[in-house]
């Protein structure tokens, strides 16, 4: 910008004051255009930053909810595993055989349906 001002000033040295005034007006207009362009870019970046912040808050909320869901599922799985362990340790081995047979049957049906 300073180089352009020097060039404009050099051309206007030999002229009357009207050319210098016109040069100054042109430089001011160019500066105003660049300031407006910068202002619009800053506004765009501000909007983008606000949108990113909202998305991050939304994602954090979703992750917190998902973490709670995984904790609940883990505790349910732990309870189920304890019950299966108690069943295996019981003297009634017949129930364990029924449970294993049922699980195998369910997996076979699912496999057949997916084919």
As for how many domains the chain has, the answer is 1
Q: What's the pLDDT score for residue 6? A: 59
Does the global pTM surpass 0.85?
no
Full domain range(s) for residue 109 = 2-114
Q: DSSP letter string over the chain?
A: -HHHHHHHHHHHTTS-HHHHHHHHHHHHHHHHHHHHHHHHHHHHHHHHHHHHHHHHHHHHHHHHHHHHHHHHHHHHHHHHHHHHHHHHHSS-HHHHHHHHHHHHHHHHHHHHHH-
57-115 pLDDT per residue, tens: 999 999 988 888 888 888 888 888 888 777 777 766 777 788 888 999 999 999 999 88
37-69 pLDDT per residue, tens: 999 999 999 999 999 999 999 999 999 888 888
């Amino acid at each position: 910008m300073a180089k352009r001002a020097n060039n404009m000033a050099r051309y206007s040295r030999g002229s009357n004051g009207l050319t210098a005034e016109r040069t100054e007006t042109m430089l001011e207009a160019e500066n105003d255009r660049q300031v407006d362009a910068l202002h619009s870019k800053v506004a765009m970046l501000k909007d983008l930053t606000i949108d990113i912040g909202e998305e991050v808050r939304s994602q954090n909320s979703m992750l917190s909810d998902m973490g709670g869901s995984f904790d609940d599922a883990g505790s349910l799985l732990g309870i189920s595993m304890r019950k299966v362990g108690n069943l295996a340790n019981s003297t009634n081995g017949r129930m364990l055989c029924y449970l294993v047979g049922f699980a195998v049957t369910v997996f076979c049906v699912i496999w057949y349906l997916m084919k």
